[in-house]
């Protein structure tokens, strides 16, 4: 099915081709015609399925043939700076190939607000923003949302995390009541479903189920190892597998710095990437990683969403994610755009139970492996050491102890 069959203009079809979009993905094939009809839409599709182009193409078509405006007519909200920048790049890349290119502004926190205020003086047709910086710009009278006719919530589940929910409600209160609403997300926890019900009017629902045709080609591996030997194992795998690049997920900013430093000292070009870095540093690390100047980037969950790194061969969970949803987003950084990839999780004895829960939630069992020379020597918590018993029925249970205590308090029978 070509893009032209979805109702897009010849100029946008050509723009899509110039950016490498050859044929629509399933979510694009279903979402684009519905958006062009002007209906509200809620779309769920796995990471790497082409959700950005699914709303970017019809959004730009709706702006074609209209006069430029100082006030934005379309607003895209994203939860992170990196995702906002990436969405902005797609919109700007498509717009460059149009005869009357809409003006696209990308605004986010972590950098000075003054250049963004200056850039908005000339107006913008589309604004891509994180909620906090958008509210800052409105409060500085640098931006008005009174003309927004199309709202896109990208990665809606993250927009409800942490402090985003309150900011999101404040943004919604500033928008016109009559508008088209599009909600995109890879996962739909209860909070997102409630948001959709309150925000959308008779929406078209697009849910692209995973199938052999659209499931990312990701091989999962689970390697058992003691916590203290994970960095050595990581170094061994990087050298043995000869990955050109690998994204390593850890739990904290400190761990990102620490693991990256250990690898670098071992002769592996590794860099940390986390929210504690300045926006300029984060942008530089990502670009250098895409350019293959870094072999390893050690990151927090900051890079689990909205980061599109072409042909990334491997992802490693040095620390397991907090939830199965985060696991899906992490491993989805590889195996994108038809490429294959591998996702490796380090399973320490302490993390075994948690990984079993992740397996249960994703309806998949991953065989455990042990790498020679890195076999775990510790036992999972609660596992009795050899020779200490622990066989069910050989020791009194808690109930047995309570019964014994109650019996001891009873007066002896005469």
For 274-314, the three-class secondary structure string (H helix, E strand, C coil) is CCCCCHHHHHHHHHHHHCCCCCEEEECHHHCCCCCCCCCCE
The verdict on 236 and 89 lying in the same domain is no
404 in a structural domain: no
Distance from chain centroid for Cα 192 = 15
Indicate the range of 1-10, 237-246, 396-405 predicted with least confidence.
Answer: 396-405
The verdict on 143 and 226 lying in the same domain is no
412 in a structural domain: no
389 in a structural domain: no
**pLDDT score for 387:** 42
Parallel, antiparallel or unpaired: strands 180-185 and 41-44: parallel
Average pLDDT score over residue span 332-343: 82
252 in a structural domain: yes
Alpha carbon distance 370, 202 (integer Å): 52
Parallel, antiparallel or unpaired: strands 246-249 and 314-317: parallel
What is the average pLDDT value for the chain, to the nearest integer?
86
397 in a structural domain: no
**pLDDT score for 68:** 67
pLDDT band for position 98 (cuts 50, 70, 90)? confident
Average pLDDT score over residue span 306-318: 86
Residue 374's Cβ-count burial label (10 Å; 0-12, 13-18, 19+) is middle
The verdict on 135 and 193 lying in the same domain is yes
115 in a structural domain: yes
Identify the CATH number of the domain in which residue 252 sits.
3.40.50.300
User: Comparing 303 with 312, which gets the higher pLDDT?
Assistant: 312
The verdict on 19 and 76 lying in the same domain is yes
Q: Sign (positive/negative) of CA torsion 401, 406, 410, 413? A: negative
Residue 382: CB partners within 8 Å, gap ≥ 6? none
Average pLDDT score over residue span 223-248: 95
The verdict on 173 and 223 lying in the same domain is no
Residue 54: other Cβ atoms inside 10 A: 29
Query: In the chain, what percentage of residues exceed pLDDT 90?
Result: 53
Residue 121 main-chain phi, psi, to 5 deg: -60, -30
101 touches 179 (CB < 8 A): no
The verdict on 151 and 245 lying in the same domain is no
**pLDDT score for 48:** 67
Q: Which domain holds residue 361?
A: 217-369
**pLDDT score for 333:** 86
**pLDDT score for 389:** 41
The verdict on 258 and 160 lying in the same domain is no
203 touches 42 (CB < 8 A): yes
**pLDDT score for 325:** 81
pLDDT tens digit sequence for 368-392: 999 999 999 977 765 544 443 443 4
**pLDDT score for 36:** 95
Average pLDDT score over residue span 348-358: 94
The verdict on 184 and 223 lying in the same domain is no
pLDDT tens digit sequence for 186-235: 777 777 788 888 888 899 999 876 544 456 688 999 999 999 999 999 99
The verdict on 153 and 222 lying in the same domain is no
403 in a structural domain: no
Total domain count for the chain?
2
350 touches 380 (CB < 8 A): yes
pLDDT tens digit sequence for 387-407: 434 434 445 555 556 666 666
The verdict on 65 and 201 lying in the same domain is yes
Average pLDDT score over residue span 12-36: 89
413 in a structural domain: no
The verdict on 170 and 231 lying in the same domain is no
The verdict on 23 and 172 lying in the same domain is yes
**pLDDT score for 413:** 46
Rounded to the nearest 10 degrees, what angle do helices 51-63 and 10-18 cross at?
140
Alpha carbon distance 199, 207 (integer Å): 18
- Is residue 243's pLDDT more than 70? yes
User: Comparing 396 with 177, which gets the higher pLDDT?
Assistant: 177
Alpha carbon distance 166, 161 (integer Å): 10
Alpha carbon distance 225, 344 (integer Å): 12
């Amino acid at each position: 099915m070509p893009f032209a069959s979805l109702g897009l203009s010849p100029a946008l079809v050509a723009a899509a081709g110039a950016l490498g979009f050859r044929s629509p993905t399933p979510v694009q094939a279903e979402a684009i015609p519905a958006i062009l009809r002007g209906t509200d839409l809620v779309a769920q599709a796995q990471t790497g399925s082409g959700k950005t182009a699914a709303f970017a193409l019809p959004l730009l078509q709706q702006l074609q043939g209209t006069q430029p405006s100082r006030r934005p007519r379309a607003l895209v909200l994203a939860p992170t700076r990196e995702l906002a920048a990436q969405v902005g790049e797609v919109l700007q890349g498509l717009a460059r190939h149009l005869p009357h290119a809409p003006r696209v502004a990308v605004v986010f926190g972590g950098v000075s607000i003054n250049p963004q205020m200056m850039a908005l003086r000339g107006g913008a047709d589309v604004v891509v923003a994180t909620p906090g910086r958008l509210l800052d710009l409105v409060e500085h009278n640098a931006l008005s949302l009174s003309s927004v006719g199309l709202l896109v919530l990208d990665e809606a589940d993250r927009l409800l995390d942490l402090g985003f929910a309150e900011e999101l409600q404040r943004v919604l209160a500033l928008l016109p009541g009559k508008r088209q609403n599009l909600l995109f997300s890879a996962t739909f926890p209860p909070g997102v479903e409630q948001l959709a019900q309150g925000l959308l009017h008779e929406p078209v629902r697009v849910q692209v189920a995973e199938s052999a045709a659209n499931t990312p080609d990701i091989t999962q591996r689970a390697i058992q190892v003691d916590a203290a030997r994970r960095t050595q194992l990581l170094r061994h795998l990087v050298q043995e597998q000869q990955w050109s690049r690998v994204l390593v997920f850890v739990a904290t900013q400190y761990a990102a710095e620490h693991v990256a430093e250990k690898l670098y000292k071992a002769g592996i070009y590794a860099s940390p990437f986390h929210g504690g870095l300045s926006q300029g540093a984060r942008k530089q690390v990502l670009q250098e990683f895409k350019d293959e100047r870094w072999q390893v980037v050690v990151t927090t969950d900051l890079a689990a969403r909205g980061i599109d790194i072409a042909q990334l061969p491997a992802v490693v969970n040095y620390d397991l994610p907090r939830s199965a949803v985060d696991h899906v987003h992490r491993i989805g950084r590889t195996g994108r755009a038809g490429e294959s990839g591998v996702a490796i999780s380090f399973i320490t004895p302490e993390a075994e139970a948690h990984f079993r829960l992740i397996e249960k939630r994703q309806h998949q069992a991953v065989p455990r492996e042990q790498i020679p020379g890195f076999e775990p020597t510790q036992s999972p918590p609660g596992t009795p050491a050899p020779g200490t018993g622990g066989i069910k029925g050989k020791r009194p249970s808690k109930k047995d102890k309570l019964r014994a205590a109650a019996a001891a308090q009873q007066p002896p029978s005469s």
